[in-house]
Structure 1
Amino acid sequence: MTTAACTYSASELTDAACLVSLGCQPRLRPLALPRYWDLLQRYRLDGAFRDAVDAVAEGLDMDLIEAHPIEGLVLHPREGSWLAYRLKDHPRLGVKDRLVLGLAHVAIAARAYPTPADLEEETVKRVSLAEVDDFLRSLTERLREAAVDADGLAVPHAELDAAWRVYSKLPPARPTTTGRLSESSTHRVIKEALEWLVEQGLANRAPELGVGCYRLAHRFRLQVRETAAMAAFAALCDIRRAQLIEED
């Protein structure tokens, strides 16, 4: 097979596909897997092999964002790709559940990375259930105020309007008789969003920092950076920046 001006052997193509396969398993880390580490270093140092890996990712309709020495190969499925995760594909979620869970995901990103500079820094960000919920409570108040213009007419914001209205009606935390969070509480929604990030290798639980605390991984920042132009994310970042100015 030929890619650009290079001809690849079957073993080279197998190695390229293997690296992409490892990158598609975001909880794997190259430092723990010699094979992963060797292929990653080869990608970083060998231009011809890098072209082959890029071509495999391209064929799978994925963007290869970075080859990070600790996080590994960071891949991002393109919008509409068969590999992209969509909330509507979740078998247990109704329409309202999808709205508030989607809002929680965007809020986690906006709270952690409200400015372009934040999206470029490798500083590990920490979040907690309570902090994200406080941010969302404040956010819903600001969105309620911004929902009408100077003449009292409704200002449409299709991506956020229905979500914050549902979220604002839920209690923050409602423990059940077994001590677990109620399905109808916002803390449960935020925890589900953060636990999904953990499962995808995008965050880590950090109980040593306090109850309900998590650390966001470098690859989560890179994924957010790829979708930073999304209108809902931009709107929440505006609110977060305003909050930070007020706190100063």
Structure 2
Amino acid sequence: MSTGYAYSAADLTDAAALVGFGCQPRLRPMAVPRYRDLLQRYRRDGQFRDAVDAMAEGLEMDLVEAHEVEGLVLHPRGGSWLSYRLQDHPKLGVKDRLVLGLAHVAIAARAYPCPADLEEETVKRVSLTEIDDFLRGLTEHLRRAAVDKEGLAVPHAELDAAWRIYSKLMPCRPTATGQLAKSSTQRVIKEALDWLVSQGMAQPAPELGSGHYRLAHRFRLQVRETASMAAFTALCDIRRSQLVEEE
């Protein structure tokens, strides 16, 4: 934080309010005048920006971007009290967490397979069937990648376990009420995408067809923050090889 500047109580209240708005990822500045005004102040006033950055730092969050449309994009640091992990979900067993985690990584890898994709502010569209087809196409690649040239297992236990479980599930099994059964892979993908919707990182796009979604700029930024994850890197490598084969 810059030195020699005395913050008033009003300054600190405004800084805390902006961080509070940023902690509501579905909130958009254009819909809330106070949020919009504070965001503009953050973008223009260096002293105020320092105060907001310091508050995010104290909450163990990285302030990724102050986007005019998406708002303040915050990323909780790993291990912080604000971070969300699949193992924290009380209703998910170990296998469920593995498959749901794989679905999340697959959504990101299919949308942003190349480093350049993570820098372009373009709207990506995905669907349940596209992600499901992508994951099923990955199965053989992952099976081959699970061992090295000498036939020894490659140490990536969670990814290996996840795709093996995934490959045994039915892609689409409707219930008597017409919903997707919990034991189907498209239901898992829907849960992943619906969670992104709840976090302001995606929007349903029914006008494009059933099971279609748009991925928000906020999701791209979050993926960019975690792009070094081994599982994401592995799936991106396979996705890029698929794109080369399709050309």
Normalised to the residue count of structure 1, the TM-score between the two structures is 0.98
- Secondary structure of 1:159's counterpart equals helix
Q: Partners of 2:3 and 2:104 in 1: how far apart? A: 39
Alpha-carbon distance change, 180 to 14 in structure 1, aligned in 2, over 3 angstroms: same
Matching residue of 2:5: 6
1:60 counterpart = 2:46: no
- Secondary structure of 2:242's counterpart equals helix
Task: Give the residue type in structure 1 aligned to 2:219.
Answer: F
Q: Partners of 1:58 and 1:146 in 2: how far apart? A: 39
Matching residue of 2:155: 156
Q: Partners of 1:130 and 1:167 in 2: how far apart? A: 14
Matching residue of 2:80: 81
- 1:18-57 aligned within 5 A: 18-57=17-56
Point out the more displaced range, 148-157 or 126-135. Answer: 148-157
C-alpha displacement of 1:3: 5.5
Q: Partners of 1:122 and 1:70 in 2: how far apart? A: 12
Q: Partners of 1:51 and 1:4 in 2: how far apart? A: 10
Q: Partners of 2:4 and 2:103 in 1: how far apart? A: 46
Task: Give the residue type in structure 1 aligned to 2:147.
Answer: V
Matching residue of 1:232: 231
Cα deviations across residues 102-157 of structure 1 (Å, max 9, x unaligned)?
A: 00000000000000100000010000000000110011111012222233222221
Q: Where does structure 1 lack aligned partners over 5 or more consecutive residues?
A: none
Q: Partners of 2:158 and 2:205 in 1: how far apart? A: 31
1:101 counterpart = 2:100: yes
Matching residue of 1:143: 142
Stretches of 4+ moved more than 4 A in 1?
none
- Secondary structure of 2:11's counterpart equals helix
Q: Aligned residue pairs: how many? A: 247
Q: Partners of 2:4 and 2:129 in 1: how far apart? A: 54
Task: Give the residue type in structure 2 aligned to 1:119.
Answer: L
Matching residue of 2:213: 214
C-alpha displacement of 1:4: 3.1
1:111 counterpart = 2:110: yes
Cα deviations across residues 43-77 of structure 1 (Å, max 9, x unaligned)?
A: 00000000000000000000000000000000000
Q: Partners of 2:158 and 2:231 in 1: how far apart? A: 6
Cα deviations across residues 20-49 of structure 1 (Å, max 9, x unaligned)?
A: 000000000000110000000000000000
- Secondary structure of 1:76's counterpart equals strand
Q: What is the Cα-based RMSD across aligned positions, in Å?
A: 1.0
Task: Give the residue type in structure 2 aligned to 1:25.
Answer: Q
Q: Partners of 1:179 and 1:57 in 2: how far apart? A: 44
Matching residue of 1:184: 183
- Secondary structure of 1:150's counterpart equals coil
Cα deviations across residues 159-185 of structure 1 (Å, max 9, x unaligned)?
A: 311111111110100001110001100
Q: Where does structure 2 lack aligned partners over 5 or more consecutive residues?
A: none
